[in-house]
Amino acid sequence: MKARLPSWLMNPESLLIGLGMAFWLIMGKLDHSFLQWEVQQELSTHIWETALMALPMTLIILTGGIDLSIGSIMSLSAVTAGLLHQAGWPMPMGCLAAMVVGMACGWFNGWFITRFKVHPLMITLASMAAFRGIAEGVSQARPLSGFPESFTRMGNDVWLGLPIAGWIFAGSLAMAAWIMHAHRLGRCIHAIGYNEQAARFSGLRVDRMLLGLYTLSGLSAAMAAILFMARRNTAKADIGAGVELGVITAVVMGGVSIFGGRGTLAGVCLGLFLIHETREFVSWHWSRDELNLLALGVLLILSVVFQQLLGHKRAS
Amino acid sequence: MNPSGSKPNVQQAWLSLLRSRTAGLACFTTLILVWMSLWNPTFLAWSNMRDIAVAAAPVCIISCGLMLVLVLGEIDISVGSMMGVLAAAMGAMASASRWHLPPGVAMVGTLILGVCIGAINGWLVAYLKVPSIMVTLGMLTALRGVTEVIMGGQWITDLPPELRYLGTGSWLEIPICLWVTATVVLISLWLIHRSTLGRRIYAIGSHPKAARLAGLPIARTQCLVFAWTGFLTAVATLVSVPQLSVVDSGIGVGMELLVVTCVVVGGTAVSGGIGNLTGVLLGALLMTMISTVLIFMKLGENATYWSKAIQGLFILGAILLEPWTRSRKKP
Amino acid sequence: MLDVRHSGCNKTVLTPENAMSLLVAQQIHHSYGGTQALCDVSLEIEPGEWHALCGENGAGKSTLIKIISGVEPPDQGNVTLEGNPLPMGRVHAVEEAGVVAVHQEPVVFPHLNAIDNVFVGREPGRLGGLWLDRDSMAHGARQVIHQLGEDLPLEQPVGELSLAQRQMVSIARALLNDCRILILDEPTASLSARETQSLFRAIKQLQARGVGILYVSHRLEEIFQMADRVTVLRDGRMVGTHSIASIQRSDLIQMMVGRPLDASSAARPLPREEQAPTLLEVQGLSRAGVFDHIDFTIQSGEILGLSGLVGAGRTEIARAIFGLDSMDTGSITLDGQPMPEGFQIHDAMDRGMALVPEDRQRQGLILPESVEDNLTLPSLKAFSKLLGLDRDSRGKAARRLIQRMGIKTAKPSSSAQSLSGGNQQKIVLGKWVYRQPRLFLLDEPTRGVDVGAKEEVHRMIRTLARSGSAILLISSDMPEILQLSDRILVLCQGRIRGEVTGSQATAEQLLEWALPPERPDAA
Amino acid sequence: MKHCFSLLSPPHLLRGCLIAWILFLSACGPSAPSKSTETGADNQAVVAPKDTITIALIPKKKGLPYFTSCASGAEAAAQELGNVTLIYDGPTDGSPEKQASMIEQYALKGVDVIAVSPNDPDVVAPAMRKAREKGIHVIAWDADAVTDARSFFVNQSTAQAIAYGMVDTMVRDLGGPEIRAQVAIVTAYLTAANQNIWIEHMKTRMADTYPNLELVAIKPSDEDQKLAFKVTQDLMKAYPDIKGFFGISSVSFPGAAEAVKQAGESGKVMVTGLATPNSMKAYVKDGTVKSVVLWNTAELGYLTVQVGAALAQGALKAGETTFEAGKLGTKQIEGDHVLLGDILVFTKDNIDQYDF
């Protein structure tokens, strides 16, 4: 209570920045080759899809919901695009169809959630199995590859120092930031997360907004699927398995309250960054995948505990 | 108080039971059993029923614990990885080529380890006030890493016969694991209906703020319930892993999702306060039965690829069962 | 022995009676974060005394109760029961000692039934607590609820009961213990007049047994009716303790508020003379089991009071008019234009309706958000431009509203939960005022609001009516409805029982209409 | 408009970022001089053979005893050669995407040789090609990759040979090609690339050579021994005439064998598949499994490292037909396949001689 830290030091974002700095220092001491720009640039390709899906996930968690089905939506969209490509559709049309399918899946989630008032966790737990199952069924679990080079180039090209996927993420981030900070939707999302009932009583169209957010989440999963296909030149029913855990981990690590309301996009970006750097560095330096699992788990718990302790100090 | 009202009350209770999710699940299960017995009478054979029960046993055991966690308004998604660690630890303790401890010590050690991991989860949740989904999400990842470290790239292929007996032996023609499951269910029934602790768990999950004003020991209860879940996970590990001769490093992968699905399908509210053990057990039975049903339906090869979709729609149906009837009742 | 202990703490002035006091709280200091909630507060309660605790919201009443009942340990000070110090900060031990509290917000667990609720935390057990004694629990619960003169479905989850019944369960929980001191924090806020009376009867019985009662209420008439002594708090400090016979109502208010109240505010409304156009017309509004064939009209500039017991369907009617709930049959016509079939809240809002809900904290406000955000939430669209929100004009509008509604806040960006109840209520009203609605549906606009703020809210309601808005006022507060309404409708069991012009209404008449004709309380 | 931007970067964030940037520079700072020497070393690696060779050996899934025993052979080769640094790492969950990420990492790190056992050839191919463009020798081992994504394949056995081998073993165990029998396959995931290639070849073999074998079901075990066990149990009951199971992943084989054993059908229902001898010893001894098909895994790892080292030193070039593989002697090269040679069949008689 005596020497109180300034308020800008007492929030999750600052804590994450601090952690990030500590990491960079450790990395620099242990293995400076890791910090080279080319290395970072190339390794960044591993995070863009997760990052892209983390944006709508942030908004959804801010409203107090969750979407576990994004990995499965990814696979269904990818399989759609792959099958249509095989059927002779031009790639852009295939991608468009994939996005439509992704949005349809998200809309389906949102519709059930708003229509039946079932907890999003339950609905998306079920649709997670259903969507992947459908993807497996329609593709008969076959890999679909051989996409045109003009398409795969999208996954590998670098423009102004950033991979194409990075630019897509940056664009989406700018849009999400605009929504959250400058548009009235941002206020509404926070309001719904803090107190859905009061938001309804204030005349906010909560159901419509939730429907929109889950659809957006589906769309982002479809876009992630397209980026994946371009990068790895293949579409299959098993892509995106387990990706939802990575996305949710990044979001909660970024200081977004799992109960809704509290959280910022800046925090989520830092969370994504921290997770990405940790994961890449551990396998870069120690080359032991099991340590990676250990490090990520411990990092998540520690960062949340720290956030909690800081938050506690602030409250009392 | 209301002597004339006792009869309608009974009637009302029956009606609400019929409308409840548990009844829906029971109907659903019966329907499947009848339908499958028409399709292929061997489905109802004792051996098949026994095998389904044995497969459902670990899920039931863990669900008994996880249900209480959900009733408390928390969640534990680390049970899958916990099972992996416990299996690895049990194997390493008992294996002749590793620590070579007596089987009894290995058993007790596994149980203690389970309680410890659960208690760590509980401690972080109860005393450091970290949301349980984050704690257990972290544990889910970290414990999987620990499993790999313990295994060290080698599987355990020499479980001692005493441990194998837990998984494969039977008493009075009924497999040991079913006896254990029955015991766990009985203890859980007592815990829920006849113990002070059970009332506390429901009360805290129902309204945490009121629980604080009523002076209930919230943190202690939370810690206890997580430790209990850890203990039950260890029990499930002890009776299910020795059914197989090889302890591999992938044991329990995806278990957390299966168990959460069962508990939720069984009518436990994600927001706490509501949970019915019968429903949860039915849910667990139903979820483990699906794969057997799909095999007995002898679908063609193409349809094999649709089995996951069928499972998914099945879960969706089971979850929507009750809200659907609820929303239909409204004008 | 008692004397020896008391002589040690001689700092407060001890009157001879103090030696006999049942409960003594001495020099309690407590602060939350940086704000001092209680400062040097002392209190004593004698056996069989009905001791009222008064003060505006935020005066520290609830904090004092939390400390005495052991929910929170004080920073300084001690509490003794019959000379023995109470264990601080341990609810369970304090309850064991015989000090039981009924908190403002009913301490009930919605998913448990009434029996479990009554016993939770102190279940009787056989075999050393390993086996719950269900029979004796059911018996005990039935007995204690009977003692309250109430009839509750014991096996039903409490969440399905009405608010009043839940409050009863919460009180039954407190009565279960053989208590020496019973603390009641606004127990009647959600009770109807009849239920209040039966509660008072039960308390009287306890009083006769020598139980000391610490009673908090905003309803001054209750205090003057029942209490023996009253202690007044203001801003966390003691103003004084007085025998109720020795003070006047106006004195008490002045002690609470710290200034004399505007006398004119108590005046009854004048009969309206000019005939204004009809704004809202409700015809044949019905929903099975909730309300039945509701017909009424409101004119512009009129305040229509809707009276009745809690659970009579008042809130539900307001919700249906606002499009929150569906209705079976009936039509709603606003300004000559019928509302479309199955209209939603935003339709109602767009046509100029506003609803101030009964539960301020849960339905009215986003507590963690700022005053500015709360004030502008329903009118965000008005500040939206092509490139997003126009923050300048939004901030300006919020500041204007803060000034106009007289909201006392450090800055527009402080969070709503840091404000007192009265100021929070002003936000809920103010957020609609910006939209300039033509019809206000006010559901208990002054529940749990202190006297001073209540006056301000009343003034605001009058101003709104004078400026031409129609107001539907739902209130359980009889003086309030009598003071404000131009016309009063009384609901009973979902039907309109009677109508009277405000100037002719009497409390007795309203109460008579509100009570069900034959069987009491058909729940 | 201006608010949009000011709010994208709250003041505390700006301050934090500034400090972070300074610290980042300080972390990079001291590395600047050594960085140049490092890149110099990297260039050297591409241009000319050098003293120490770094080989990254990537298995399909780390933690499988099969790959652990391969790694032990690889380690032996590395020690024998003396100038080889061996890195053995792979995804613990067997995710192809993670495997591809690892290939990209090693390519960036500038190792000399990357040896991949692709879990899904299509997914890892782009990463392997990218590594080759960087001048790194990329070879496939254990399972073949897309042809243009690697220079050599250290071939212990092709997918076709493995598949044919399993079918042939099953027929032999059942008692000859004349016997009519229903068989089922318990695979890993329905989407598992390697297993799917094997299944295709097995189907061809059955259709072409053994028309009496009827494949009644292909069921996934999701890499869960428990599920493999349950699926086998169910299949035996749903198809009472079933006579043989193929357990074609390392956990579905023991799972299936255990189910057959517990049903008391040991010796009547045949189980075969690929597995390391240790995990199958019990079943081979009690007759549930007659023969287990595998190769000498340690030698496979050994040969892979030998080939990698030879490539890095320029000793092995495309078009050669033989290769000197240390203590293994001379190995044949067919096209771009370096052949390991003999398949091992473990039976009751010889399984005790192997410990891996």
Asked if the structure places residue D20 within a domain, the reply is no
Tokens of A91: 């790639």
- Beta strands C329-334 and C278-287, pairing class: antiparallel
Asked if the structure places residue A293 within a domain, the reply is no
Q: Do C71 and B273 touch (CB under 8 A)?
A: no
Those residues with Cβ within 8 angstroms of residue D108's Cβ, 6 or more apart along the chain or in another chain: A38, A39, A42, A43
The ipTM, to two decimals, is 0.85
Are both C336 and C461 inside the same structural domain? yes
Q: Of the residues C383, C403, C433, which one is the last residue of a structural domain?
A: C433
Q: Which of C127-136, C274-283, D232-241 has the highest mean pLDDT?
A: D232-241
Tell me how far apart the alpha carbons of residues A294 and A291 are, in angstroms, rounded to a whole number: 5
- Residue appearing with tokens 């129609």: C470
- Residue appearing with tokens 């679990």: A141
How would residue B324 be classed by pLDDT, with cut points 50, 70 and 90? low
Average pLDDT in chain D: 84
Higher model confidence: residue B308 or residue A55? A55
Those residues with Cβ within 8 angstroms of residue D171's Cβ, 6 or more apart along the chain or in another chain: D177, D179, D210, D213
Domain range for residue A198? 47-240
Q: What is the pLDDT of residue C327?
A: 83
Are both C294 and C388 inside the same structural domain? no
Query: Chain C contact for B210, CB < 8 A?
Result: yes
Query: Chain A contact for C384, CB < 8 A?
Result: yes
Are both C275 and C415 inside the same structural domain? no
Kindly report the pTM of this predicted structure.
Answer: 0.87
What secondary structure, in 3-state letters, does D261-329 show? HHCCCECCEEEEEECCHHHHHHHHHHCCCCCEEEECHHHHHHHHHHHHHHHHCCCCCCCCCEEECHHHC
Domain range for residue B245? 41-315
Closest-CA residue to C228 (of C211, C210, C246): C246
Report, as an integer, the average pLDDT of C359-384.
87
Asked if the structure places residue A212 within a domain, the reply is yes
Q: Do B295 and D64 touch (CB under 8 A)?
A: no
How would residue D192 be classed by pLDDT, with cut points 50, 70 and 90? confident
Q: What is the pLDDT of residue D206?
A: 92
Three-class SS state of C448: coil
Q: What is the pLDDT of residue D5?
A: 38
Report, as an integer, the average pLDDT of C357-386.
87
Asked if the structure places residue B254 within a domain, the reply is yes
Tell me how far apart the alpha carbons of residues C71 and A25 are, in angstroms, rounded to a whole number: 46
Are both D146 and D169 inside the same structural domain? no
Asked if the structure places residue D288 within a domain, the reply is no
Report, as an integer, the average pLDDT of A84-95.
93
Query: Chain B contact for A133, CB < 8 A?
Result: yes
Lowest mean pLDDT among A150-154, C7-11, C392-396, D73-77: C7-11
Q: Of the residues C381, C409, C433, which one is the last residue of a structural domain?
A: C433
- Residue appearing with tokens 């019966």: B30
- CB contacts < 8 A, C to D, total 6
Asked if the structure places residue C22 within a domain, the reply is no
The helix/strand count (H/E) of chain C reads as 17, 24
Asked if the structure places residue B281 within a domain, the reply is yes
Q: What is the pLDDT of residue D19?
A: 63
Tell me how far apart the alpha carbons of residues B110 and B84 are, in angstroms, rounded to a whole number: 11
Q: Of the residues D224, D242, D275, which one is the last residue of a structural domain?
A: D275
Q: How far is C3 from chain A (nearest CA, A)?
A: 39
Q: How far is D63 from chain C (nearest CA, A)?
A: 46
Q: What is the pLDDT of residue B56?
A: 94
Are both C279 and C421 inside the same structural domain? no
CA atoms within 13 A on the CB side of A143: 23
Q: What is the pLDDT of residue D12?
A: 52
Total residue length of chain A = 316
Q: How far is B272 from chain C (nearest CA, A)?
A: 9
Tell me how far apart the alpha carbons of residues D177 and D193 are, in angstroms, rounded to a whole number: 29
Asked if the structure places residue A314 within a domain, the reply is no
Whether residue C262 is predicted with pLDDT greater than 80 in this model: the reply is: no
Tokens of B23: 């009844």
Asked if the structure places residue A74 within a domain, the reply is yes
Helices B46-71 and B277-296 meet at what angle, rounded to 10?
Answer: 140
Q: For residues C79 and C24, is the Cβ–Cβ distance under 8 A?
A: yes
Residues of chain C positioned with their CB less than 8 A from the CB of D3 = 388-389, 391
Tell me how far apart the alpha carbons of residues D133 and D142 are, in angstroms, rounded to a whole number: 23
Per the structure, the count of domains in chain C is: 2
Domain range for residue D203? 159-275
Residue D334 pairs in a beta bridge with D337
Residues of chain D positioned with their CB less than 8 A from the CB of A35 = 24, 27-28, 31
Whether residue D43 is predicted with pLDDT greater than 60 in this model: the reply is: no
Chains contacting A (3 or more CB pairs within 8 Å): B, C, D
Residue D217 pairs in a beta bridge with D184
Amino acid at B87: A
Exposure letters D238-256 (e unless 16+ CB within 10 A, then b): bbeebbbbbbbbbbbbbbb
Closest-CA residue to C174 (of C110, C94, C242): C94
Q: How far, rounded to the nearest angstrom, does the alpha carbon of residue C374 sit from its chain's CA centroid?
A: 21
Give the DSSP per-residue string, B144-179. HHHHHHHHTT--B----HHHHHHHH-EETTEEHHHH
Tell me how far apart the alpha carbons of residues A299 and A19 are, in angstroms, rounded to a whole number: 10
Lowest mean pLDDT among C175-179, C436-440, D57-61, D149-153: C175-179
Query: Chain B contact for A117, CB < 8 A?
Result: yes
Exposure letters C50-70 (e unless 16+ CB within 10 A, then b): bbbbbbbbbbbbbbbbbbbbb
Tokens of C67: 């400390």
Q: Do D254 and B249 touch (CB under 8 A)?
A: no
Digit-coded pLDDT (tens) for C112-126:
888 888 888 777 776
Tokens of D353: 């001689």
Residues of chain C positioned with their CB less than 8 A from the CB of D1 = 387
Closest-CA residue to C487 (of C509, C465, C497, C502): C502
Whether residue D250 is predicted with pLDDT greater than 90 in this model: the reply is: no
Residue C278 pairs in a beta bridge with C299
User: Which DSSP category does D62 fall into?
Assistant: T
Q: For residues B129 and A312, is the Cβ–Cβ distance under 8 A?
A: yes
How would residue B149 be classed by pLDDT, with cut points 50, 70 and 90? very high
- Residue appearing with tokens 């992943």: D249
- The CATH number of the domain holding residue B125 is 1.10.3470
Residues of chain B positioned with their CB less than 8 A from the CB of D254 = 244-246
Per the structure, the count of domains in chain A is: 1
Are both C429 and C463 inside the same structural domain? no
How would residue B326 be classed by pLDDT, with cut points 50, 70 and 90? low
Report, as an integer, the average pLDDT of B170-183.
93
Q: How far is B303 from chain C (nearest CA, A)?
A: 44
Whether residue A188 is predicted with pLDDT greater than 50 in this model: the reply is: yes
Are both C381 and C441 inside the same structural domain? no
Q: For residues D169 and D353, is the Cβ–Cβ distance under 8 A?
A: no
Q: For residues A81 and A100, is the Cβ–Cβ distance under 8 A?
A: no
Tell me how far apart the alpha carbons of residues A183 and C109 are, in angstroms, rounded to a whole number: 39
Asked if the structure places residue A18 within a domain, the reply is no
Tokens of B22: 């548990």
Tell me how far apart the alpha carbons of residues A114 and D32 are, in angstroms, rounded to a whole number: 56
Helices C134-147 and C163-176 meet at what angle, rounded to 10?
Answer: 110
Whether residue B8 is predicted with pLDDT greater than 50 in this model: the reply is: no
Query: Chain C contact for A195, CB < 8 A?
Result: yes
Domain range for residue C508? 266-352+437-514
Asked if the structure places residue C303 within a domain, the reply is yes
Q: How far is D317 from chain B (nearest CA, A)?
A: 34
Q: Where are the alpha helices (DSSP H) in D157-266?
A: 159-174, 193-208, 225-238, 252-262
Report, as an integer, the average pLDDT of C198-202.
83
- Report long-range pairs for C245-251 (Cβ below 8 Å, ≥24 apart): C249/C220, C249/C224
Whether residue D11 is predicted with pLDDT greater than 90 in this model: the reply is: no
Tell me how far apart the alpha carbons of residues A52 and D147 are, in angstroms, rounded to a whole number: 33
- Beta strands C439-443 and C470-474, pairing class: parallel
Q: Do B270 and A248 touch (CB under 8 A)?
A: no
Digit-coded pLDDT (tens) for A200-217:
888 888 999 999 999 999
Q: For residues C256 and C232, is the Cβ–Cβ distance under 8 A?
A: yes
Asked if the structure places residue C302 within a domain, the reply is yes
Q: Of the residues D246, D275, D304, which one is the last residue of a structural domain?
A: D275
Q: What is the pLDDT of residue A76?
A: 96
Exposure letters C258-270 (e unless 16+ CB within 10 A, then b): eeebeeeeeeebe
Residue C84 pairs in a beta bridge with C81
Average pLDDT in chain C: 82
CA angle A262, A268, A270 (to 5 degrees): 130
Whether residue A264 is predicted with pLDDT greater than 70 in this model: the reply is: yes
Are both D188 and D263 inside the same structural domain? yes
- Residue appearing with tokens 């499958």: B36
Q: Do B138 and A118 touch (CB under 8 A)?
A: no
Per the structure, the count of domains in chain D is: 2
Query: Chain C contact for A29, CB < 8 A?
Result: no
Whether residue A223 is predicted with pLDDT greater than 90 in this model: the reply is: yes
Digit-coded pLDDT (tens) for C420-434:
778 888 999 999 988
Helix (H) or strand (E) holding B187: helix B176-194
Asked if the structure places residue B323 within a domain, the reply is no
Are both D49 and D121 inside the same structural domain? yes
Digit-coded pLDDT (tens) for B250-302:
899 889 989 999 998 888 888 888 888 999 999 999 989 888 888 888 877 77
Q: Do A201 and C387 touch (CB under 8 A)?
A: no
Residue B163, sorted as left (phi over 0), alpha (psi -120 to 50) or beta, turns out to be alpha
Report, as an integer, the average pLDDT of C405-427.
85
Whether residue B12 is predicted with pLDDT greater than 70 in this model: the reply is: no
Per the structure, the count of domains in chain B is: 1
Closest-CA residue to D107 (of D86, D137, D85, D83): D137
Q: Which of C324, C344, C366 sits opposite A198 (nearest CB)?
A: C366
Are both C444 and C429 inside the same structural domain? no
Residues of chain C positioned with their CB less than 8 A from the CB of B215 = 70-71, 90-92, 94-95, 121
| Percentage of chain D exceeding pLDDT 70 | 86
Amino acid at A223: M
Residue of A nearest to C375 (CA): A202
- The CATH number of the domain holding residue C503 is 3.40.50.300
Q: For residues B82 and B145, is the Cβ–Cβ distance under 8 A?
A: no
Q: For residues A8 and A14, is the Cβ–Cβ distance under 8 A?
A: yes
Cα–Cα distances (Å) from A94 to B320, C319, D117, D216, in that order, read 33, 48, 32, 36
Residues of chain A positioned with their CB less than 8 A from the CB of B316 = 123, 126-127, 130
Helices A48-62 and A70-86 meet at what angle, rounded to 10?
Answer: 130
| Percentage of chain B exceeding pLDDT 70 | 91
Query: Chain A contact for C356, CB < 8 A?
Result: no
Residues of chain A positioned with their CB less than 8 A from the CB of D20 = 17, 20-21, 24
Q: For residues B124 and A301, is the Cβ–Cβ distance under 8 A?
A: yes
Q: How far, rounded to the nearest angstrom, does the alpha carbon of residue D63 sit from its chain's CA centroid?
A: 11
Are both C317 and C448 inside the same structural domain? yes
